[in-house]
Amino acid sequence: MSSWVKGLVYLLSALVCVGHLPAPLPTINTCIFDDIEPPDVLQKRQTYAHTQDVLREAGTHSHIPDVLQRSGTYSHTEDVSEGTRRTSDRTKRNTQTSDRARRNSRDLFQPLRITTWFHNIGSELGRAEQDSLRAVVQEAVGRITRALAVVPVQGPLVLGRNFTEICKFAVAANQPNAGKCSVAKTTYRGEICIAEFLIPDEHLEGFATWADTGDTPVQVLYTDGAGVADTDYILYVTAATTTRCQNDHSILAYASYCQLDQNNRPTAGYTNFCPVQLQGPGFDRDKFVMTAIHELLHALGFSKQLYGKFKDCSSSADPTSCPDRRDVVETRYGMNRITTPTVLNRTQQHFRCSWTDFGGPLEDRPTGVSSHWESRLMQGSIMTAKLGPPHLHTIDAVTLAVLEDSGWYRVDYTTAGPLVWGEGQGCTFGTEATCVTSDDWFCLGSSVGCHYLRLDKGRCESDSYLGACRVHKPQPGDECWKESSAPSTLQLELHGESYQEASRCFMSNLIKTGQGGPSSPAGRCYEHRCNSTGVLEVRVQGSPWVRCQFGSSIAIPGYSGLLECPPAGVLCRDVYPPPHTTATATTQADNCPTGNTQHNPPTSPPSCVPPPHTTPSHVTPSPHHCYSYNTG
């Protein structure tokens, strides 16, 4: 290679790294949350709905004395029996009242309110790219808030300051102002989330230094911020070319939680979108939405550092004061698994596994517990470590069950998408001992076959997350449902393929009569339809509709070879892609100068799943919304 060509290659590479040229969007996107999530963050007490009000409505009392604990003795058996009967009646009433209190405590839960706070996103993004980012975050937040409910914060949400970071010396324990800060550090610069984002002072509590005695501080270093009204969670959003973005171009975005409340529920999070991925014609809105949902679910609680902070509210009448949940993650059957009650129930139902401790399989990491599902068992879930094409992933019920079992959230499972991978396949599905095979889920060699959802073709491949297992992975241009993916007309006619909205992938060695003998079976795209009774029919170019009985092979008039009908369970049921919906949001009228938006989820469920869109729909904010593109 000549020196000037080498120089040009070096220059182009450098421009890509600093974000001046768009890098090619990767097919698979990696999540780095396991590597960046903080081991510990600040807790700040928040005010919640007064649970005692709920208990009072249920008729409970703070203390009901037991008749058998009264002073004195009983002189007759009848008296003892009567006392025991009264105790039993009171115990029964107390149990019934406690049950009512727990039922009423559920009324405390309201749809999760997330306020998005965009910071300085105009420094590296143009106006259209900023609009795209806002639309992505808006849809991701809307889909999550439709699924989750919390006990709402009363009054403004105000975040805390880390005492150990700001205070150099505290007042001595034997003084009236014991524990308060007497001397502040000069190095304190504010509350910084994962060493990248400086939380605005207006969202933070104040801080002062104190003498040993007295009711007035010596110096007020920071006044109390106003906080954020009508919200349960603040999501800070940036778009900066950070070191993390530069080091790995497979990263679209990353996120973390920043602070917790007194019950360990995350109350603030931060996410950064790598600008180079938002720029240029390769921008894929749907991929960014799924990535944003994935990262936000981490920041809301799907985190190895937060598993140990989960709460068990199963027997508590006060959802803001539950005991710690024990044994959230256990090692079972050679891997770490989340074994909380709802997750156990959901995984047993999904895999049809009778093992009582089967649980949610976490990624096999050499360094310990993971914040992602094991890919071999949970393909298609939003919370595997690598996300492929967005129409092949869903917010599944097993993932939502983790958040339910955290004790912080109530979940609307009607918002969950269907998880098809491994459905009904039993307890040993997806292990490296059983996956080295060629079936409807796994494959051998490097053949071109069908992705298990049949929306795409795919090449048999593995990766570092699959280990010895291989699956059919779609590549750009493998989408059967997308007309623009169609190859040349000659190739289409040779095998009778059709690329359109109703097309799906079938294994076939069909070839037009007179054009040669049948070849090896491969993934081919053919039009399909399902009648009202769930019967599958397929049409090859130039042939009539033919019934395709699940699990059989059929001949097609005008073609030599056979077409293999897929097993039951994927086609002729409502599956992917997820709906293209835009979350409804209201802009805080008194906060328009900052351009930050509060999301209040609608009460109605999402619409039915439509067929996939061949062109991503871009959403531009309505003109009446107040947006500022360089918020501080």
Listed in order, strand segments (DSSP E) in 371-467 are 386-387, 410-411, 448-450, 457-461
Q: Structurally, how many domains does the chain consist of?
A: 1
The verdict on residue 8 lying in a domain is: no
The verdict on residue 1 lying in a domain is: no
pLDDT 10s digits, 382-410: 999 988 899 999 999 999 999 999 999 99
**537 is in which domain, residue-wise?**
476-564
pLDDT of residue 399: 98
pLDDT of residue 573: 77
The verdict on residue 532 lying in a domain is: yes
Those residues with Cβ within 8 angstroms of residue 533's Cβ, 6 or more apart along the chain or in another chain: none
Produce one character per residue of 185-215: b if its CB has 16 or more CB atoms within 10 Å, e if not. eeebeebebbebbebbeebbbebebbeeeee
The verdict on residue 549 lying in a domain is: yes
pLDDT of residue 52: 57
| Cβ 267 vs Cβ 208: under 8 Å | no
Radius of gyration of the chain (CA): 29
| Cβ 447 vs Cβ 522: under 8 Å | yes
pLDDT of residue 491: 87
* Residue of 37, 124, 191, 295 marked catalytic: 295
Residue 526 has phi, psi (to 5 degrees) of -135, 150
The verdict on residue 559 lying in a domain is: yes
Q: How far apart are the C-alpha atoms of 32 and 249, rounded to whole Å?
A: 12
The verdict on residue 133 lying in a domain is: no
SS3 content of the chain, % helix, strand, coil (to 5): 25, 20, 55
CATH number for the domain that contains residue 533: 2.30.34
The verdict on residue 489 lying in a domain is: yes
The verdict on residue 492 lying in a domain is: yes
- How many C-beta neighbours within 10 Å does residue 503 have? 25
pLDDT 10s digits, 443-453: 999 989 999 99
List residues forming the annotated binding site for Zn(2+): 294, 298, 372
- The reply to whether 497 belongs to the active site is no
Give the chain's residues under pLDDT 70: 1-30, 33, 39, 50-106, 574-632
